[in-house]
Structures are given as C-alpha cells and as structure tokens.
Copies of this chain bind each other. A is one copy, B any other.
Amino acid sequence: MINVIGFDADDTLWHNENLFLQTQDKFKQLLLGYHDEQWIDQRLYETEIKNLEHFGYGVKGFTLSMIETAIELTEGRIVGSEIQEIIDYARDMIDAPIEVLDHVKETLKDLSGSHTLMVITKGDLLDQETKVARSGLGDFFQHVEVVSTKTTETYQAVFKKYDIQANDFVMVGNSLKSDILPVLQCGAQAIHVPYETTWAHEEVTEKDLWNQGYLKVEHIGQLPELLKTLPTSK
C-alpha cells in the first residue's frame, strides 16, 4: 500500500525551467553582438554538460557555465561589467519569487492527511532548502532530500535512510529520466506530471520508455484520484 509519496520540486511543485530559459535569453542578448542565438545556446549547453561532473546541478554551476561560455564565445573580449551582469543574473534567480504550480497546494494539503510526503530534488543545497521554505509548502513535507543526482542508487539510498519499502512508495515528477525511470527500476511506482518544457539533458527517448508501465497525469490535481486506483501491492 502506498503510504509515502516523493515529490520532485523544480517544475513539479513550482516553475523553474522557465527561470533558466529567461536567464538564458538575457545571456543571449548580452552576447548577440558576437554570435547568433542558436550557436550561443549550443555552446552553453555543451559547457553545462562538461561542467556537470564538477559543478553539479543548480544555479551556481549554470552561472559558472555561462561565464565560461561568454569568455569562449567572445575569445576573451567580454568585459568585467558584462561578467558582473551574469553574476547578477544568478542572484536574481536565487531571489526570484517562487511560483507554485496550479493545483499543488490543495493537492499537498489533501494528501498530507493520509500519506507521508517528502521532497526529493536535485540542485544547490541552500537554494533548494530556501525554495521549499519560501514556497509556503514546507509544512506539508516531513522530509526534504536534496540529492546530487537521481539514479536508481540514489532512490535506494533514500529508501534505506528513511526505512521505506519500495512497494509503499510512489514518486511524482516531471522528468522521465530523473523521477520516473530510476524509481521504476527500484520496484517502486512513479507518476509522471509533464511540465511545459524539459531541459534537453533530462529528455529520454521513446525506446527508454517502452513498456515501463509508469502512470501519467496531466496536472498534479489529478493525483489523489489516481492514487485511489493503485493496486495495494505490486
């Protein structure tokens, strides 16, 4: 029987990817005198992927990647005030108001009466903790786990830490790669709530998804009804 529900945070509980996209737009405007937008996007993405193993997910790594990309694409001609502008983007992102997605608050309120709710999210530790607090949703969650990656091993470690049986757990999130596939591989259940955009690095192919048997809702408000239909054991 499902008694613990894990929620991804960014783009599941609140808007996030659009904040990165808005920042990336500003970044492209800054460099538009040097290169066209598509080329800037492509080089930034490559730098981000290269830096993931060093800097991990989150605003700080993204910012360092923007700075590196700017230096590379301007062949070092970028000036100090422009780099400062990029660092200011980072502070703006970290301070940006949290826009909780539709249906989230009432759904969490509903489910928190009957289930243990927890957040399992990637990103910078301090930034994610602050976002949970500022979202006004913190009281619905018994645990907040900020993790550096979301693999099968990550979820197994979380299950062990909180003494959770895979059979009792369902994960809810917008990323098939991070929130759904590794959870199914642990023998737990997973419910996909698509967000309007997905970062290229989080995309998975149809082949990865074939016959995986995860569930899907259009928005998080459909969660309580869906949970009632789940079999009590797998």
Spell out A's residues near B (CB within 8 Å).
54-56, 60-61, 63-64, 67-68, 70-71, 74-81, 83-84, 87, 90-91, 94-95, 124-127, 129, 143, 146-149, 161
A147 to chain B, nearest CB (A): 8
Complex contacts, A126 vs chain B, CB 8 Å: 55-56, 148-149
B129/A148 in contact, CB under 8 A = yes
Give A78 to B78 CA distance when docked, in angstroms.
9
Complex contacts, A149 vs chain B, CB 8 Å: 126
A72 to chain B, nearest CB (A): 8
A30 to chain B, nearest CB (A): 13
Central interface residue in A79, A125, A143, by most chain B CB within 10 Å: A125
A76 is contacted by which of B77, B84, B146, B147 (Cβ under 8 Å)?
Answer: B84
A-B CB proximity, top 10 nearest: A76-B80, A56-B126, A126-B148, A60-B60, A71-B80, A76-B81, A125-B125, A125-B148, A71-B84, A54-B94
> Given contacts A77-B80, A79-B76, A83-B83, is CB(A64)–CB(B60) below 8 Å?
yes
A182 to chain B, nearest CB (A): 17
A77 to chain B, nearest CB (A): 6
> Given contacts A80-B78, A84-B68, is CB(A161)–CB(B143) below 8 Å?
yes
Given pairs A76-B80, A78-B80, 18 additional interface contacts (CB within 8 A): A54-B90, A54-B94, A56-B124, A56-B125, A63-B64, A64-B87, A67-B67, A67-B87, A68-B84, A68-B87, A70-B80, A71-B81, A71-B84, A76-B84, A125-B125, A125-B147, A126-B149, A129-B148
